[in-house]
Amino acid sequence: MPAEDLALLENLPEVEHEGDGPALLPDEIMTGRVVPEMNNTEGRIPGFVVPLKTTNDMKILEFFLVPYYGACIHVPPPPPNQIIHVRYPEGFKLQALYDAVWVEGKLVIDRTENDLGTSAYSIEAESVTLYQQ
| Number of structural domains found in the chain | 1
Residue-wise DSSP of 122-133: EEEEEEEEE---
- pLDDT of residue 24 exceeding 70: no
Confidence at 9, pLDDT banded by 50, 70, 90: confident
CATH number at residue 79: 2.40.50.870
Domain assignment present for residue 98? The answer is yes
Domain assignment present for residue 109? The answer is yes
Q: 6 phi and psi, to 5 degrees?
A: -60, -45
Compute the mean pLDDT over every residue in the chain, rounded to the nearest whole number: 87
Q: Which pLDDT score, from 0 to 100, does residue 28 have?
A: 65
Domain assignment present for residue 49? The answer is yes
Domain assignment present for residue 117? The answer is yes
Asked if residues 83 and 120 have their Cβ atoms less than 8 Å apart, the reply is yes
Range of the domain at 107: 32-130
pTM of the model: 0.83
- Provide the terminal-to-terminal Cα distance of the chain, rounded to the nearest Å: 23
Q: Tell me if residue 90 falls in helix, strand or coil.
A: strand
Domain assignment present for residue 16? The answer is no
Query: With left for phi above 0 and alpha for psi between -120 and 50, is residue 70 left, alpha or beta?
Result: left
- pLDDT of residue 125 exceeding 60: yes
